[in-house]
């Protein structure tokens, strides 16, 4: 495909599925517009709807020590969501997944913020040998999906804790304004337990005995029973303003990059994904900010001229990650040189997710579930 970059954002043909209209605007921007019109309800109307959500959460959880579950990573989106929840009088139980890659700053941010907000925390620590084996298996699978083991476990832990504590409501930090441009070709299969199990069986050496997972039928059933609310879609969410508030009110410290609270995520996105696949996730992150008016296209283009993060830190991360994953330099180089594959190249639920039945089920869910859900 001849190289082309969107005239509105900075997404380009490194996404093999991208499509441009006659004005050169990409399909991701058009998707953003549609999602924003449907789900972003800020201003007075957003306040009214959010007040209704909060009232329902409080009422449903009035006999429980907590009224909702909230995942926390230490990053700005999840932290600001907990901050807002407490401002509105909610009593969340914070849940954190410790996959062995938390930076020291992430741990301190979580502890400091939750202590000041008087929010209880439950931390789920993964079996390191088991999880390490799964991460290495995904690297050997040679798809751009090596963050899926963490992402799937996080969702599964959120589901299980809501069920464990008898809570109907899960409140997340996902939002359209900053997370709307991610190509499916860059990462897919997050809810696909069949795919995860296939990769582990083919490339792993251990059985997944303790790894938190949710088969799709269970996931579907739980989503019908639980309400997941993306709270940031109902406020005038600006990432830089949120960072300033968290820093001044709670002593939160910025990481310098999206998802850089995790050492592995920082290295995977800033080194492996870019060097092996040519996928720079900053393009998606910046493009969302461009469309939401939080960054200019020129600012994004200038930022993309720089490395994802300092080269000396990349080299330090490389040594640390290889040692922690028990990979030799030769093994890592073989991984980097393996032919690039995709999610669809492995047994998975990809065809189901693209089929009419799934689209029908999704449509029914959107109609029958609570109308204030954002996803």
Give the residue among 365, 335, 357 at the shortest CA–CA distance from 271.
335
Q: Which residues sit opposite 228 in a β-bridge? A: 170
Angle separating helix axes 239-250 and 104-117, nearest 10 degrees: 70
Query: Which DSSP letter does residue 20 get?
Result: B
Compute the distance between CA of residue 151 and CA of residue 146 in angstroms, rounded to an integer: 10
Instruction: Specify whether the CB–CB gap between 120 and 161 falls below 8 A.
Output: no
pLDDT of residue 370: 47
Closest CA to 261 of 144, 113, 366: 113
pLDDT in tens, the chain (375 residues): 799 999 999 999 999 999 999 999 999 999 999 999 999 998 999 999 999 999 999 999 999 999 999 999 999 999 999 999 999 999 999 999 999 999 888 899 999 999 999 999 999 999 999 999 999 999 999 999 999 999 999 999 999 999 999 999 999 999 999 999 999 999 888 989 999 999 999 999 999 999 999 988 887 787 778 899 999 999 999 999 999 999 999 999 987 756 567 899 999 999 999 999 999 999 999 999 999 999 999 999 999 999 999 999 999 999 999 999 999 999 999 999 999 999 999 998 877 776 666 666 666 555 555 443 333
Q: Rounded distance, CA 310 to CA 293, Å?
A: 27
The alpha-carbon radius of gyration of the chain (Å, integer) is: 20
Q: Which domains does the chain have, with CATH numbers?
A: 42-276+307-368 (3.40.50.620)
Q: What confidence score (pLDDT) does residue 375 get?
A: 30
Give the pLDDT confidence score for residue 348 in this predicted structure: 87
């Amino acid at each position: 495909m001849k190289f082309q970059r969107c005239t509105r954002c900075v997404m380009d043909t490194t996404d093999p599925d991208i499509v441009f209209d006659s004005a050169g605007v990409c399909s991701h921007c058009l998707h953003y517009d549609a999602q924003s019109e449907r789900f972003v309800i800020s201003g007075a109307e957003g306040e009214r709807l959010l007040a209704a959500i909060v009232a329902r959460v409080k009422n449903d959880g009035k006999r429980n020590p907590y009224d909702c579950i909230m995942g926390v990573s230490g990053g700005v989106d999840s932290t600001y969501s907990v901050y807002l929840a407490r401002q509105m009088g909610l009593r969340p139980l914070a849940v954190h997944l410790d996959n062995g890659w938390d930076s020291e700053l992430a741990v301190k941010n979580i502890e400091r913020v939750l202590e000041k907000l008087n929010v209880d925390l439950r931390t789920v620590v993964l079996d390191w040998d088991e999880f390490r084996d799964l991460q290495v298996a995904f690297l050997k699978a040679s798809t751009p999906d090596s963050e899926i083991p963490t992402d799937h476990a996080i969702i599964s832990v959120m589901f299980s804790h809501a069920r464990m504590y008898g809570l109907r409501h899960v409140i997340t930090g996902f939002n359209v304004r900053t997370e709307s441009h991610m190509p499916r070709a860059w990462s897919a299969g997050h809810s696909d337990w069949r795919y995860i199990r296939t990769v582990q069986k083919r490339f792993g050496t251990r059985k997944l005995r303790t790894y938190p997972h949710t088969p799709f039928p269970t996931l579907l059933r739980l989503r019908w029973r639980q309400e997941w609310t993306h709270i940031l879609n109902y406020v005038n969410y600006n990432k830089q303003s949120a960072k300033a508030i968290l820093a001044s009110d709670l002593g939160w410290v910025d990481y310098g990059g999206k998802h850089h609270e995790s050492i592995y995520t920082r290295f995977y996105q800033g080194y492996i994904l870019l060097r092996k696949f040519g996928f720079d996730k900053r393009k998606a992150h910046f493009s969302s900010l461009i469309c939401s008016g939080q960054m200019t296209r020129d600012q994004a283009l200038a930022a993309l001229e720089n490395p994802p993060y300092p080269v000396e830190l990349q080299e330090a991360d490389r040594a640390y990650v290889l040692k922690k994953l028990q990979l030799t330099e030769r093994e890592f180089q073989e991984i980097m040189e393996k032919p690039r594959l995709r999610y669809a190249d492995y047994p998975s639920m990809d065809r189901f997710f693209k089929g009419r039945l799934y689209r029908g089920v999704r449509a029914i869910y959107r109609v029958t579930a609570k109308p204030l859900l954002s996803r």
